[in-house]
Amino acid sequence: MYRYDDFDHRFVDERVAQYRDQVRRRLAGQLTEDEFKPLRLMNGLYLQMHAYMLRIAIPYGAFDSAKMRKLAHITRKYDRGYGHFTTRQNLQLNWIKLEDTPDILAELASVEMHAIQTSGNSFRNTTTDPFAGVAHDEIEDPRPYAEILRQWSTLHPEFSFLPRKFKIAVSASTEDRAAVKMHDVGLYLRRNDKGEVGFEVMAGGGLGRTPLLSHTIKPFVARRDLLSYLEAVLRVYNQYGRRDNIYKARIKILVQSLGAKKFAEEVEAEWLASDREAAALPDNYVREIASAFALPAYDNTPVDEAAFKRDAAANPAFARWLRRNTFGHKSSNHAVVTISLKPVGETPGDCSADQMDLVADLADELSFGEIRAAYEQNLVLPHVRRDALFGLWKRLEAAGLGTANIGQITDIICCPGMDYCSLATARSIPIAQDLARHMAAKEEAIGTFNIKISGCINACGHHHLGHIGILGVDKNGEEVYQITLGGDAGNNAAVGTIIGPALKSDAVTGGIDTLIDVYLKLRQDGERFPDTYRRIGAKPFKEALYAVA
């Protein structure tokens, strides 16, 4: 894990001191809200429906037990004993007092954390594969590049007044687990014919009001040129991106209006004309950053396979958890474990302070202290010996963290919605809770499936990319829910299509149930929902849904 150097510590400490003075002046009436708002937003502090909300950055979703314990402590001392992991691999605290925020940021700084650039028209948290560094299908660990991007994009002087927020994702595996194609800029690590590592650069993706998938604008950018090329992308965006209309300000609108080919030509021309050496990424610097992400010293004594199989055979619930919540590790003695934050009937992504402390303890005991936050709003222990899995599962079960539903229909991505968020137009959490309760019994029969729910068009719940997506909107003072079908987030990314008129809130669960029944009846062997949907089209789903709705 990357550790702050002196510069990082000084920078974050200075920011806390500046912010403390800003809060003091606001509370003393020396700053108006209009003057103060941009300052608090630069430090991740929003004002929501019931309180202030602090969004804490977890760079590329990678953190450790010390940071997790600090988060647990902060939620206990300053909030209501729980936090909400987000689709940007960050953590949100929903019940924060303005007067406490300088102390909270100081506490975060003490464990090398902050909330800078988790809001505003800035570079947001660069996201990546939660299995980065340990996934068996990986070209190279993407975390060093995500860290380099974090350093490059933090308070970058040329890009501090972007037309709109800017999100980057990096993936290095054959399977895209970072939803790369829905980002302003997406990076896939690639090897060229000479075996050199570089990046396929994609641009123009994004969700929200105008959901668009990104386009490849350069199939291979050498590692050395990564930052200079991205600077060219940002310069073209900074120059031509619209500032007159917030709904048309994201880079996706620029790429769409220019066309991906023309946009790529503009970037290429800017890049060739720029001083590429000034932003070159030297090999020794990459090596230095990468050294912070070296794999731990694994215990390579053989796993007792007989005992492992015996435990799984004697405990079907454990066997199910193994099948759904563990993933192949580079070391054959180890597994990557995903801890579900989706217990049936609970708020997706919520985690109590005691659960945070337990995960920190388990990380120390079993995973070299390392923890990841996944954009699907779950947690990951990246290095667990396979003969420790049974004990781990039992302890997770006892704490409400043992739900075996990763990638299943109850593993719902869900934004906070109108229960918390001042932008929301409808509630999303109660819909998720009800759906999960209803679908749990069918989960095994359904198999891999994802439902994604947003409480407004901003799409924090990624509803466009759900196999079934649900968007809550306000219609004449009533919450109604628009259903989209056929979305997909990974390698076969697709934006779902709206099936028809929105459903009233009390018709959503029944309506989804009807859609699932159509899928179960018409799917062919091994076919995922988006594949069935693409094969048979919307008609059978539409007919069934509106016959009962």
Residues at the site binding other proteins, with contacts judged by CB under 8 A: 26-30, 32-33, 47-52, 75-76, 80-82, 96-99, 343, 345-347, 350, 352-355, 399-400, 418-420, 427, 429-430, 433, 477, 479
Q: How far is the CB of 370 from other proteins (least distance, A)?
A: 24
Q: How far is the CB of 458 from other proteins (least distance, A)?
A: 16
In terms of Cα–Cα distance, which of 386, 361, 226, 239 is closest to 300? Answer: 386
CB atoms within 10 A of CB 249: 19
Q: 75 or 171: whose CB is closer to other proteins?
A: 75
Residue 211, classed as helix, strand or coil, is coil
Q: 198 or 455: whose CB is closer to other proteins?
A: 455
Residue 414, classed as helix, strand or coil, is strand
Q: 26 or 150: whose CB is closer to other proteins?
A: 26
Kindly give, in sequence order, each residue whose CB lies less than 8 Å from that of residue 203, ignoring residues fewer than 6 positions away.
184, 185, 186, 214, 215, 217, 233, 251, 255, 260, 263, 264, 267
Q: 279 or 507: whose CB is closer to other proteins?
A: 507
Q: How far is the CB of 20 from other proteins (least distance, A)?
A: 15
Joined tokens for residue 245: 């209309």
Q: 328 or 343: whose CB is closer to other proteins?
A: 343
Q: How far is the CB of 404 from other proteins (least distance, A)?
A: 17
Q: How far is the CB of 101 from other proteins (least distance, A)?
A: 10
Are 150 and 160 within 8 A, CB to CB? no
Q: 147 or 357: whose CB is closer to other proteins?
A: 357
- Cα(506)–Cα(261) distance, integer angstroms: 46
Joined tokens for residue 275: 């001083």
- Cα(430)–Cα(433) distance, integer angstroms: 5
Q: How far is the CB of 219 from other proteins (least distance, A)?
A: 45
Give whole-number Cα distances, 411 to 193, 244, 393, 455, in Å: 39, 39, 18, 17
Q: How far is the CB of 436 from other proteins (least distance, A)?
A: 12
DSSP per position, 470-494: EEEEEETTEEEEEEEES-B-STT-B
Pairing, β 413-414 against β 451-454? parallel
- Cα(405)–Cα(338) distance, integer angstroms: 10
Q: How far is the CB of 350 from other proteins (least distance, A)?
A: 6
Kindly give, in sequence order, each residue whose CB lies less than 8 Å from that of residue 354, ignoring residues fewer than 6 positions away.
72, 81, 399
- Cα(294)–Cα(55) distance, integer angstroms: 29
Q: How far is the CB of 99 from other proteins (least distance, A)?
A: 5
Q: How far is the CB of 439 from other proteins (least distance, A)?
A: 18
Q: 29 or 316: whose CB is closer to other proteins?
A: 29
Q: 107 or 479: whose CB is closer to other proteins?
A: 479
Local structure of residue 385 (DSSP, 8 states): E
Residue 243, classed as helix, strand or coil, is coil
- Cα(105)–Cα(247) distance, integer angstroms: 32
Please work out, in degrees rounded to the nearest 5, the angle formed at the alpha carbon of residue 148 by the alpha carbons of 273 and 356.
150
Q: 355 or 484: whose CB is closer to other proteins?
A: 355
- Cα(25)–Cα(431) distance, integer angstroms: 41
Q: 267 or 344: whose CB is closer to other proteins?
A: 344
Q: How far is the CB of 204 from other proteins (least distance, A)?
A: 33
Q: Which residues pair with 53 in a beta bridge?
A: 46
Q: How far is the CB of 349 from other proteins (least distance, A)?
A: 11
Are 335 and 328 within 8 A, CB to CB? yes
Q: Which residues pair with 127 in a beta bridge?
A: 169
Q: How far is the CB of 105 from other proteins (least distance, A)?
A: 16
- Cα(303)–Cα(311) distance, integer angstroms: 13
- Cα(511)–Cα(499) distance, integer angstroms: 12
Kindly give, in sequence order, each residue whose CB lies less than 8 Å from that of residue 488, ignoring residues fewer than 6 positions away.
465, 467, 494, 530
Are 168 and 184 within 8 A, CB to CB? yes
